[in-house]
Structure 1
Amino acid sequence: MVSRRLVTLLSVPLLLALAMPALARDITHAMGVTDVPEKPLRIVALTNEATEDLLALGIVPVGAVRSANADPWFDHVSEMLKGVTVVGEELAPNLEVILSLEPDLILGNKKRHEDIYEQLSAIAPTVFVENITGQWRQNLAFYADAVNQTEKGAEVLKYYEDRVARIKASLGDQVNEKVGLVRFIAGQNYAYNNDSFSGSILRDIGFGRPAAQDKAGLAEKITLERIPELDGDRLLRFSYETGDGGATKEAETWMASPLWENLSVAKAGHVYPVFDTVWATAGGVMAAHLALDDIEKIYGLASSR
Structure 2
Amino acid sequence: MSFAKKSWLAVGLALLLVFTAGCGSGASTGGSASGDQEANNEKTRVIQHAMGETKIKGTPERVVVLTNDGVDNALALGIKPVGAVKSWIGDPWYDFIKDDMKGVEVVGEEVQPNLEKIAALKPDLILGSKVRHEKIYDKLSAIAPTVYSETVGHVWKDNFKLYAKALNKEEKADQLLKEWDQKIADFQEKMGDKLDTKVSIIRFLPGLVRIHHNGFPDAIVKEAGLKRPKSQIKEEHSSEVTEERIPEMDGDVMFVLTMEEGDGKATKLKEEWMNKPLFKKLDVVKEGKVYEVNDVYWNLSGGIQGANKMLDDLEKHLAKK
Residue matched to 1:7: none
Equivalences for 1:153-164 in 2 at 5 Å? 153-164=173-184
Please state how far the C-alpha of 1:22 moved relative to its aligned partner. 7.3
User: Contact 2:65 / 2:126 at 8 angstroms: preserved in 1?
Assistant: yes
Separation in 2, partners of 1:91, 1:106: 15
Residue matched to 2:250: 231
Q: Residues 99-146 of structure 1, C-alpha deviation per residue, up to 9 Å, x if partnerless?
A: 111100000011111111111111101110011121000100010111
Is 1:255 the counterpart of 2:274? The answer is: yes
Q: Is there any run of 5+ residues in structure 1 with no aligned partner, and where?
A: 1-20
Kindly, what percent of the aligned residue pairs are identical? 45
Match among 73, 77, 89 for residue 57 of structure 1: 77
Match among 210, 227, 235 for residue 208 of structure 1: 227
User: Contact 1:44 / 1:61 at 8 angstroms: preserved in 2?
Assistant: yes
Q: Residues 42-77 of structure 1, C-alpha deviation per residue, up to 9 Å, x if partnerless?
A: 111101100110111111111111111211111111
Match among 227, 236, 240 for residue 221 of structure 1: 240
Q: Which has a greater percent of helix?
A: 2
SS of 1:189's equivalent in the other structure is strand
Q: Residues 246-283 of structure 1, C-alpha deviation per residue, up to 9 Å, x if partnerless?
A: 21111111111111100000000000001111111111
SS of 1:184's equivalent in the other structure is strand
Amino acid at match of 1:211: K
Residue matched to 1:92: 112
Q: Name which one, 1 or 2, has greater alpha-carbon Rg.
A: 2
Separation in 2, partners of 1:248, 1:55: 30
Aligned pair in 2 of structure 1 residues 234, 22: CA closer, same or farther (>3 Å)? closer
Residue matched to 2:21: none
User: Contact 1:65 / 1:88 at 8 angstroms: preserved in 2?
Assistant: yes
Is 1:245 the counterpart of 2:258? The answer is: no
Is 1:191 the counterpart of 2:203? The answer is: no
Match among 119, 125, 129 for residue 109 of structure 1: 129
Please state how far the C-alpha of 1:242 moved relative to its aligned partner. 2.7
Residue matched to 2:20: none
Q: Residues 167-217 of structure 1, C-alpha deviation per residue, up to 9 Å, x if partnerless?
A: 111011111110100111122211111x31000111111111011112323
Residue matched to 1:137: 157
Residue matched to 1:6: none
Residue matched to 1:278: 297
Separation in 1, partners of 2:43, 2:297: 38
SS of 2:208's equivalent in the other structure is coil
Residue matched to 1:18: none
Separation in 2, partners of 1:222, 1:199: 17
SS of 2:60's equivalent in the other structure is coil
Residue matched to 1:80: 100
Deviates more, 1:247-256 or 1:137-146: 247-256
Separation in 1, partners of 2:44, 2:235: 38
CA RMSD of aligned residues (A): 1.4
User: Contact 1:37 / 1:105 at 8 angstroms: preserved in 2?
Assistant: no
User: Contact 2:191 / 2:319 at 8 angstroms: preserved in 1?
Assistant: no
User: Contact 2:73 / 2:163 at 8 angstroms: preserved in 1?
Assistant: yes
Residue matched to 2:285: 266
Separation in 2, partners of 1:210, 1:252: 23
Residue matched to 2:44: 24
SS of 1:273's equivalent in the other structure is strand
Is 1:287 the counterpart of 2:306? The answer is: yes
Separation in 2, partners of 1:241, 1:116: 30
Separation in 2, partners of 1:225, 1:248: 20
What's the TM-score, normalizing by structure 1?
0.89
Amino acid at match of 1:199: D
Separation in 1, partners of 2:301, 2:160: 13
User: Contact 2:83 / 2:121 at 8 angstroms: preserved in 1?
Assistant: yes
User: Contact 1:111 / 1:130 at 8 angstroms: preserved in 2?
Assistant: yes
Is 1:175 the counterpart of 2:195? The answer is: yes
Separation in 2, partners of 1:22, 1:281: 35
